[in-house]
A and B are shown apart, each in its own frame.
Chain A
Amino acid sequence: MNISLSITKNIHNWLFSIMPEGVASITEMVLIAVVYLAIFAVAGLYLVLLERRVAAWFQLRIGPNRVGYQGLLQTMADALKLVSKELTGTIKADKFLYNLAPYFVIVTSLMALALFPFTQEFQAFDINIGIFFLIAISSIGVIGILLGGWASNNKFAMIGAMRSGVQTISYELSVGLSLITMVLISGSLQLSEIVEVQKNGWLIVQGHVPAVIAFMIYMIAGTAETNRAPFDLVEAESELGAGFHTEYSGMKFAYFFLAEFINMFIIAAIATTIFFGGWLSPFGITESIPILGLFWFLGKTLVLIFLMMWFRWTFPRLRVDQLLTLEWKYLLPLNLLNIVLMALIVWLNLTIQF
């Protein structure tokens, strides 16, 4: 196995120095799993809180501010409540698939999380086909939604699942193509290498016009991938009640809920890594302090997440046929055009590099 575990080399070396090799690698894997699960839980819960606060500020409200200082423990309390709640289900549901569905969603988003170079050495799985692997993983996540909607034996959930299938199959194209546009500049699929390339300027600057178009398309398609408004047809609370997770309760619902927010984080993190230089600081101002890379990475990601929240709390929802019109009539042709444009720019060496 050649998985490069570059997550803090010091700990790696230390572990291997005090233990036999087999034990050390297993210990390391367990440690990494725990770290990522912790990241997952904390990021998920605090993104929920952030969403609620941001929504409140957009809507002239104050938002949760009772539990803990400024409501910081609110989502923790919610999670506790959800854990203690009864897990209900419909009588004629396909119990096996019904219970399996949330794990599909949550496992895929957890797997995708492992790929990101949070900072120079903080990356669990630096695979050489990084972006491609991300696309592959994200295409599996939709199976959970399809299964959940079908297996709960509820017509509203079923309609939600069908919409989700249509939506994800269509918008995966745009996500993939807009990322491929950027791969044309970076010349690599490996995420760490893509960040390295951007030391000469972030890709959105290097690729200027087509890169900006690719970014816009990516953000639209990414929002659709995560099933968030204005593309939240899968849930569409005014049409379908709660869509595919109508029949889910307690922790199983929470898995869907958390996965939605982690997916949002992942979409923003991909955009950060590919368009905005990942953990690189602007103009290399903090290059001497590598740990600040984490700050820059999270900062950029949060800005993009805020953008997605801004979309959500401003726009009305699209109808299902308009969703497809947008993808097949507007995003896809523009995307293909954009790839040609980008190829021309890379070929003629018109990129901007510092």
Chain B
Amino acid sequence: MSYFGDIYRGIKTLLTGMSVTGKYFLHSRKGAITQQYPDNRDTLKMFDRFRGEVVMPHNENNEHRCTGCQKCELACPNGSIEIIWDRQIDPESGKKKKMIDQHIYHLGMCTMCGLCIEACPTDAILWAQNFENSVYNRAYLTKVLNKPGSKLMPGVEE
């Protein structure tokens, strides 16, 4: 008799499984979790802390907060930050001071660990929430974070 019992139980479990998928089939419109990605670009908002790429914010006078202390360069495990600096005469104080020439960021080598941003004492670099990082040429992934002709924001000290 267990032969027929097995068949009965087997069919019952199969129907139970089908009821689960069937339920979702009927509610498929509501339950769809797919994002219509390129269409919803306008409404798509990433979380504030999302690590997209490292950026260096500039204010309206084309000034940034990077003093060139190279702490980020040291903190980076992959060598994706390179800072080219020079000692120049500060026009305000007239003293020789460390100034960045280029803050180079290799996005292609970055693992988004966030250690550089933790290490930065002046909050010069931040995370941007941009995640569309693909480019046609690998060279484009090497970015210069400070804008051309930008200066250190006055009052930012190491």
Is A315 an interface position by the 8 A CB rule? yes
Number of A-B contacts (CB under 8 A): 37
* Given known A60-B33, A315-B14, contact A310–B21 (CB-CB < 8 A): yes
**Which residues of B lie under 8 Å from residue A59 when comparing CB positions?**
24
* Given known A57-B28, A60-B24, A60-B28, contact A314–B34 (CB-CB < 8 A): no
Closest-CB distance, A306 to chain B (whole angstroms):
9
Write the A29-69 contact mask toward B (1 if CB under 8 angstroms, else 0). Answer: 00000000000000000000000001011111110000000
Closest Cβ neighbor of A311 among chain B residues = B18
Are B32 and A314 interface neighbours, CB within 8 A? no
Is B31 an interface position by the 8 A CB rule? yes
Closest Cβ neighbor of B10 among chain A residues = A330
Task: Please report the total number of A residues contacting B with Cβ < 8 Å.
Answer: 15
Are B21 and A62 interface neighbours, CB within 8 A? no
Write the B20-61 contact mask toward A (1 if CB under 8 angstroms, else 0). Answer: 111011001001111010000000000000000000000000
Are A57 and B34 interface neighbours, CB within 8 A? no
Is A132 an interface position by the 8 A CB rule? no
Closest-CB distance, B25 to chain A (whole angstroms):
5
Is B7 an interface position by the 8 A CB rule? yes
Are A58 and B24 interface neighbours, CB within 8 A? yes
Is B154 an interface position by the 8 A CB rule? no
State the main secondary structure of chain B at its contact with A.
Answer: helix
* Given known A315-B14, A330-B7, contact A61–B21 (CB-CB < 8 A): no
* Given known A57-B25, A310-B22, A330-B7, contact A315–B32 (CB-CB < 8 A): no
Closest-CB distance, B6 to chain A (whole angstroms):
8
* Given known A314-B18, A315-B14, contact A62–B24 (CB-CB < 8 A): no
Is B149 an interface position by the 8 A CB rule? no
A54 to B24, CA, bound (A): 11
Closest-CB distance, B1 to chain A (whole angstroms):
15
**Which residues of B lie under 8 Å from residue A311 when comparing CB positions?**
18
**Which residues of A lie under 8 Å from residue B14 when comparing CB positions?**
314-315
Closest-CB distance, A39 to chain B (whole angstroms):
27
Are B25 and A58 interface neighbours, CB within 8 A? yes
Are B34 and A61 interface neighbours, CB within 8 A? yes
**Which residues of A lie under 8 Å from residue B24 when comparing CB positions?**
57-60
Are A60 and B18 interface neighbours, CB within 8 A? no
**Which residues of A lie under 8 Å from residue B7 when comparing CB positions?**
330, 334
Is B17 an interface position by the 8 A CB rule? yes
Are B25 and A315 interface neighbours, CB within 8 A? no
Is A313 an interface position by the 8 A CB rule? yes
A139 to B34, CA, bound (A): 42
**Which residues of B lie under 8 Å from residue A54 when comparing CB positions?**
25
Residues of B in contact with A (beta carbons under 8 Å apart): 7, 14, 17-18, 20-22, 24-25, 28, 31-34, 36
